[in-house]
Structure 1
Amino acid sequence: MRLKIRPESFPYALILFIVFVVFYFINKLLSILPLLLILFVLFFFRDPERNIITDEKCFLSPADGKVIEISEIYEDQFFKSKAIKVSIFLSLFNIHVNRSPITGKVTYKSYRPGKYLPAFKSHASEINERNTIGIENDYTKVLVHQITGFVARRIVCWSNIGDFLKQGERFGLIKFGSCTEIIVPIDTEIKVKVGDSVKGGLTVIGVIK
């Protein structure tokens, strides 16, 4: 497995390196702190290559993390019907790159400013800053929410309406702790449960019926 570092880390690492140099000439002991922070930033923005096994009958996880909620909802923007929501909490130690659950075309995108409550709170999805993309193909469709948290203050989404995404392809990331939600059709057979650890582009969230 090849490991790369996202270029979004470079501005943070550069600033911390400058702080490290300044501290080094003032107090070598203090310079350890910015050095450790540089290492953490590089660790946080790691982005390993993954062997994605595509399956048009499955919804793959859009993120690494822990399943904290599975619920039936009424989604009024994209599905305009009942649907199933699976919420995934990403800690500071998870990989924060988001991946497409299915192969398809981006047909919906929206952004909503908001607050920065801890991402594991059940109502964070409705209050916090959130970016959403909807992807669909001939068989099904899926909605993915990128949600900020108490520490996460920056959502990055590289995909726009009209873009075509392969299953497991990267489409964005959330900086420093967050929550990602996947919303699937109501008749989906969910294959995970609350408390499960999932991997973006690898774990099957549900099977299309």
Structure 2
Amino acid sequence: MVKSLREWVTEDVDPVRDRSVVWLSEHHFFRDPMRSVYVDPAYFFAPADGIIIYQAVVEPDAPVVEIKGSSYTLRDAVRDDSYDEVSLVIGIFMTFYDVHVNRVPYSGRLTYRELDAIDSVNRPMLHVEHELLKRLRVPATGGEYLRHNQRMVNRIDADELCRPYYILQIADYDVNCITPFGLAQHRPVQQGWRFSQIRMGSQVDLIIPLGGRHDLRPLCELGQHVQAGLDPLVRIVGK
């Protein structure tokens, strides 16, 4: 269920906030709760549990966010200078308290590319997590990890929409480990299926190119907390 940031911290984080890091690591972080699988081709569902920290329609060379005075674009995100699609981008930040199993937002065929960190190690996401959990606000700074860190670019060709879309998984400083549950490329995946896990803190972006027969209508707002496979993020208008 979609919750405000304050509601989620009060109801889901505060009850376990005082537990030790060892307990959180062993009993909380790696949980993989049973969930009902929702299938509705009129929606993209959330690919990850977490907090929406940006949401916008952007040109491929326009800034998704500004990082220390320089633009972080879609081409930077997918590390492909040939990317030329105007796209809806929704960034979901996964805190240490979130379930880190990712799910398929819309059915199709999955292909992925793993890209190493630009530097020797990943940049930390701790500032963003602190601002969200302590100050209860979406931070305007601290996004250096977006450009530099290890990532998995998952492309899903959605035959029903006659278009591909992308799930971008970005790893945190602590453990650069993105683990697909299936290694085969071009494999069929269904809406709501578990397809991967990112360990420790991380971020998942849903990138949907515009155009074609359908319009896209975002359903959530900045600062809201969503759950993978349960909460619709985008309505496909015209279906």
Three-state SS of the structure 1 residue aligned to 2:179 is strand
Indicate which of 4, 22, 30 corresponds to 1:37. Answer: 22
- Residue type matched to 1:40 in 2? S
Question: Following TM superposition, by how much is the alpha carbon of 1:132 offset from its aligned partner in structure 2, in angstroms?
Answer: 1.2
Q: What is the CA deviation profile of residues 65-84 of structure 1, one whole-angstrom value per residue up to 9, with x for unaligned ones?
A: 10011123315559631101
| Residues 36/191 of structure 1: CA separation in 2 closer, same or farther (3 Å cut) | closer
**Contact 2:158 2:165 survives alignment (8 Å):** no
Question: Following TM superposition, by how much is the alpha carbon of 1:158 offset from its aligned partner in structure 2, in angstroms?
Answer: 2.5
Q: 2:234: which partner in 1?
A: 206
Question: Following TM superposition, by how much is the alpha carbon of 1:37 offset from its aligned partner in structure 2, in angstroms?
Answer: 1.4
Whether 2:149 is the aligned partner of 1:128: answer: yes
- Residue type matched to 1:207 in 2? R
Indicate which of 96, 99, 124 corresponds to 1:95. Answer: 99
- Residue type matched to 2:169 in 1? Q
Once superposed, what is the RMSD of the aligned Cα atoms? 2.1
Whether 2:146 is the aligned partner of 1:146: answer: no
- Residue type matched to 2:224 in 1? D
Gaps of 5+ in 1: 1-34
Q: 1:68: which partner in 2?
A: 53
Question: Following TM superposition, by how much is the alpha carbon of 1:40 offset from its aligned partner in structure 2, in angstroms?
Answer: 2.9
Q: What is the CA deviation profile of residues 142-197 of structure 1, one whole-angstrom value per residue up to 9, with x for unaligned ones?
A: 20011011324211112442211110101101101111111113342111111010
Indicate which of 151, 156, 162 corresponds to 2:186. Answer: 162
Three-state SS of the structure 1 residue aligned to 2:146 is helix
Q: 1:48: which partner in 2?
A: 33
Whether 2:209 is the aligned partner of 1:185: answer: yes
Number of residue pairs aligned between Structure 1 and Structure 2: 174
Three-state SS of the structure 1 residue aligned to 2:230 is coil
Please identify the structure whose Cα radius of gyration is greater.
Answer: 1
Three-state SS of the structure 2 residue aligned to 1:153 is coil
Gaps of 5+ in 2: 1-19, 61-73, 129-141
**Contact 1:66 1:195 survives alignment (8 Å):** yes
Q: 1:113: which partner in 2?
A: 116
TM-score, normalised via structure 1 length: 0.75
Three-state SS of the structure 2 residue aligned to 1:188 is strand
Question: Following TM superposition, by how much is the alpha carbon of 1:36 offset from its aligned partner in structure 2, in angstroms?
Answer: 6.6
Q: 2:200: which partner in 1?
A: 176
Whether 2:225 is the aligned partner of 1:197: answer: yes
| Distance (whole Å) between structure 2 residues aligned to residue 150 and residue 36 of structure 1 | 17
| Distance (whole Å) between structure 2 residues aligned to residue 49 and residue 109 of structure 1 | 25
| Distance (whole Å) between structure 2 residues aligned to residue 39 and residue 66 of structure 1 | 19
TM-score, normalised via structure 2 length: 0.66
**Contact 1:142 1:184 survives alignment (8 Å):** yes
